[in-house]
Amino acid sequence: MAQYSGLSRAQLTFDYLHTNSTTHEFLFGALAELVDNARDAAATKIHVYTVPKKEVRGGYLLCFLDDGEGMDPGEAASVIQFGKSSKRAVDSQMIGQYGNGLKSGSMRIGKDFILFTKKRNTKSIVFLSRTFHQEEKIDEVIVPLPSWDMDSNRPIAKSAKQQEKYLTEIDIITKYSPFKSEKEIHEQFDKIDGESGTLVIIYHMMLLDNGEPELDVTTNSVDILMANVDKDDDSVPPEKRSFRAYTAVLYIEPRMKIYINGSKVCTRRLASCLYKPKMYKYSSNRFKTRSEKEAAKAYHEAQMAEEKARDAESKARDLQNKVGPVAPKDQRVALRQAQAQAEMLRNDADIKKEVAETKKRSLKEPKVLNFVFGMNIEKRKLDGMFIYNCSRLIRMYECVGPQTEGGVNCSGVLGFVDVPYLVLEPTHNKQNFADAKEYRHLLRAMGDYLVQYWKDVGIAQQGVTKFWENFGYLSPNWKDDPSEDPKFKRKRAMQLPLTIQCDQCLKWRTLPFSASNINKEFPETWNCNMNPDTQRNRCSAAEVKQNIPQGFLKKESRTAEEKSQKLLDSVSKPTPRLDLPPPVRQAAMRRSSQDTSAQQRRASTEERAPPQRTKSTPSSHRRDSIEASPQRQATKTSPVKRQSSAPTSTSTRADSARKETKAPPPPPKAKPPPPKAVPEPKAYPAKVSVSDKEEEEEEMEVTQNGVPENGTPENGVDADSEDIGKKVEAKIDGTWYSGEVVATNSKGAGPVRWKVKFDKYPRDKYDKW
């Protein structure tokens, strides 16, 4: 230890390095910290690549090379000041602000990192190695920080003491890093080919229990995959298993080029991937309150800094007056120190003053968030909100409003919003928001606007099934991908004009539709010159601003929502007790694992209900739900195709249900109206294709067992029924209503009945038989 007494120390203990790394539960979030830093350093490109290396744990080095502004030796030294970032003060557009991302991120990925950086004729290294600390049993965090003059390659170490320090640092680096000589070290600097830039190399990867590295860099040579996610597991969205997919959406307006193992990431501009996009402006008094608080805080900080600076300046002046030109050396040293201190504090005060003024000015700016929604016609199962904070992705696939209920209502809608720091700040790992309450409030607001969007696009009116069928979603399973039939591919492509980023000027260009573009691979180096649109085929041509039609939240839609929510909350009628069968849970949780409020609500409603009241009589069960064993009564023995028969009476029942709910509670209709009067049937997403057979079997049961009025749900509830989770739709007075089967009694005697929970209707009386 003694031999390291001259080296730089991070002001913390070794254990902290580990604790610090655990903030990143989401491993790609840790990698993203390094990408963020490149972006903050104004890099135009970052290369993320791996280098096979047998000697290190995991067998490869993970490297992040950017062409940003780099760091001089002083700035490199400040990298190890944990928790201190100058970024926020200077530019609120920067992503880093907690001064910890590099350390927490890299220490989450691997055990050690070495950073090479070039700036203004200097080269510097920051070497943070836990292996070194462990091997040498060091508690403090010692960070070798050698630096060189770029031209001569000579160490920047003037005094003998500095030279000694330099030699010790090189010893440590060549012993514990993958680079075993000064020559190898300089070869790394050569990878930064411009005037400035930074290369971070992480090694000794974290391993899974099976001994494999957490990041799989071999399965796909141009991607980095989560090793513990089965690549065929469709329940995990691409952004959570492929680093390429994640980085494609990491920034709301991608400008920096990202390469993974040499292959460029085709960044996605979300708004260009949505069908029928609409933008809604959202404002809240809460924003104003928060920004006032922020401005007051900044003003206070600026005042304090000003006082400190003045104090230090007057001290320095006093000293100057006392210390004459021929004063002894120690007095002159003290004077110089006082002057330096005063200058530093003056600088700090100036920055804080500027920040305070900016915040004061921003008080006057209207604080409005833009919610953008659109249909994900490429992959409807991927829906929910993408929440960005100061352009950087924080949350993805966050289901809001009706989406949390798992029905078809608002499903398939993707949305996004970019929230400024003034409104919300992220947690340290940038995977969530610090103020959970404010964040929930934001999600609720998005839910309200989503309902409005759903109304505005009128999909419910035209029929949800029909809408999706139109784009090739022919499978009964909601999660299935759309048909690859050229007809449908063309349909989808026509609605989503191809938007591509120029490799040179980084402007986005929307190409005129051409059937030949479908499935076409565009070269990585695609640039404006290749644009068939002659108006925009030069880099100098301005980027066309995306014109997203604006929508407005109509007051009544919000109140309707609130009303139905209230009704829901105050359901007074006891409903049958029914333990939620697992498939229901799955269906309800098919997206956001976070937001289970709807499910909880459902579960609690059911728990509240006394067990004895169940599907007792036909009159009670028909009232508010669809019984979708339809047609059964009408054509008991007929082997007709279910596709058309099932929904037939579905709609009929729902029809009666609706009428009855409107004027509650009128006596239920004893019989469904004749099939003639029935609109085209829909089962949604029609698992009904399977039901052809299924329901014939059910039919048989009915025939065999007769139709007893079994009273208890236990007696007949089929918790494993495949029908559970099935999306159904019913047309009532010309409007389609969607819902989901939450229970069936197919195991018991009697007609098979589906207990359907409607997405929107009848909210106040759902969960009835």
Ligand X SMILES: Nc1ncnc2c1ncn2[C@@H]1O[C@H](COP(=O)(O)OP(=O)(O)O)[C@@H](O)[C@H]1O
> Which C-beta is closer to ligand X: that of 27 or that of 460?
27
Angle at the Cα of 118 (from 112 to 123), degrees rounded to 5?
Answer: 80
Cα separations (Å) of 720 from 13, 576, 700, 713? Answer: 54, 18, 19, 14
CB of 272 to Zn ion, least distance (A): 16
Distance CA 153, CA 35 (A): 28
101 near ligand X, judged by CB under 6 A: yes
User: Helices 688-705 and 642-662 meet at what angle, rounded to 10?
Assistant: 80
DSSP designation for 50 = E
Considering only residues 50, 100, 389, 651, which one is a binding residue for ligand X as defined by CB under 6 A?
A: 100
CB of 78 to ligand X, least distance (A): 7
CB of 684 to Zn ion, least distance (A): 45
98 near ligand X, judged by CB under 6 A: yes
Q: Which region, judged by CB under 6 A, interacts with ligand X, from 64-72, 347-355, 655-663, 725-733?
A: 64-72
Enclosing H/E stretch for 393: strand 392-398
Q: Which region, judged by CB under 6 A, interacts with ligand X, from 90-98, 391-399, 549-557, 754-762?
A: 90-98
CB of 222 to Zn ion, least distance (A): 24
| Helix, strand, coil percentages for the chain (3-state, nearest 5) | 40, 20, 40
CB of 574 to ligand X, least distance (A): 55
DSSP designation for 433 = B
From the number of C-beta atoms within 10 Å of its C-beta (0-12, 13-18, 19+), residue 763 rates as buried
Task: Print the binding letters for residues 197-236 with ligand X: x by CB under 6 A, - otherwise.
Answer: -x--------------------------------------
CB of 130 to ligand X, least distance (A): 16
CB of 33 to Mg ion, least distance (A): 6
The site partner of 502 among ligand X, Mg ion, Zn ion, none (C-beta below 5 to 8 Å per kind) is Zn ion
Q: Which region, judged by CB under 6 A, interacts with ligand X, from 99-107, 181-189, 526-534, 639-647?
A: 99-107
The site partner of 493 among ligand X, Mg ion, Zn ion, none (C-beta below 5 to 8 Å per kind) is none
Distance CA 390, CA 424 (A): 9
From the number of C-beta atoms within 10 Å of its C-beta (0-12, 13-18, 19+), residue 136 rates as middle
647 near ligand X, judged by CB under 6 A: no
CB of 62 to Mg ion, least distance (A): 17
Instruction: Give just the sign of the alpha carbon dihedral 379, 385, 390, 392.
Output: negative
756 near ligand X, judged by CB under 6 A: no
Give helix then strand counts, H and E, for the chain: 21, 23
504 near Zn ion, judged by CB under 5 A: yes
Task: Print the binding letters for residues 521-540 with Zn ion: x by CB under 5 A, - otherwise.
Answer: -------x----------x-
Distance CA 342, CA 589 (A): 59
- Beta-carbon-side half-sphere exposure of residue 532 (alpha carbons within 13 Å): 8
- Beta-carbon-side half-sphere exposure of residue 179 (alpha carbons within 13 Å): 23
Cα separations (Å) of 672 from 356, 611, 626? Answer: 70, 28, 11
- Beta-carbon-side half-sphere exposure of residue 381 (alpha carbons within 13 Å): 18
Considering only residues 215, 410, 502, 511, which one is a binding residue for Zn ion as defined by CB under 5 A?
A: 502
CB of 73 to ligand X, least distance (A): 13
Distance CA 518, CA 524 (A): 17
Task: Print the binding letters for residues 534-573 with Zn ion: x by CB under 5 A, - otherwise.
Answer: -----x----------------------------------
Contact in structure between 439 and 424 (CB atoms under 8 Å): yes
Residues listed for the chain:
769
Contact in structure between 384 and 592 (CB atoms under 8 Å): yes
CB of 342 to ligand X, least distance (A): 25
User: Which residue of this chain has its Cβ atom nearest to ligand X in the complex?
Assistant: 96
Considering only residues 17, 79, 587, 626, which one is a binding residue for ligand X as defined by CB under 6 A?
A: 79
Where on the chain is the footprint of Mg ion (CB under 5 A)? 37, 96, 101
Distance CA 689, CA 704 (A): 24
Q: Which region, judged by CB under 6 A, interacts with ligand X, from 95-103, 358-366, 551-559, 678-686?
A: 95-103
Task: Print the binding letters for residues 183-202 with ligand X: x by CB under 6 A, - otherwise.
Answer: ---------------x----
Binding interface with Zn ion (CB under 5 A): 502, 504-505, 528, 539
Q: What are the residues binding ligand X (CB under 6 A)? A: 33, 37-38, 40-41, 66, 68-71, 75, 79, 85, 87, 96-103, 198
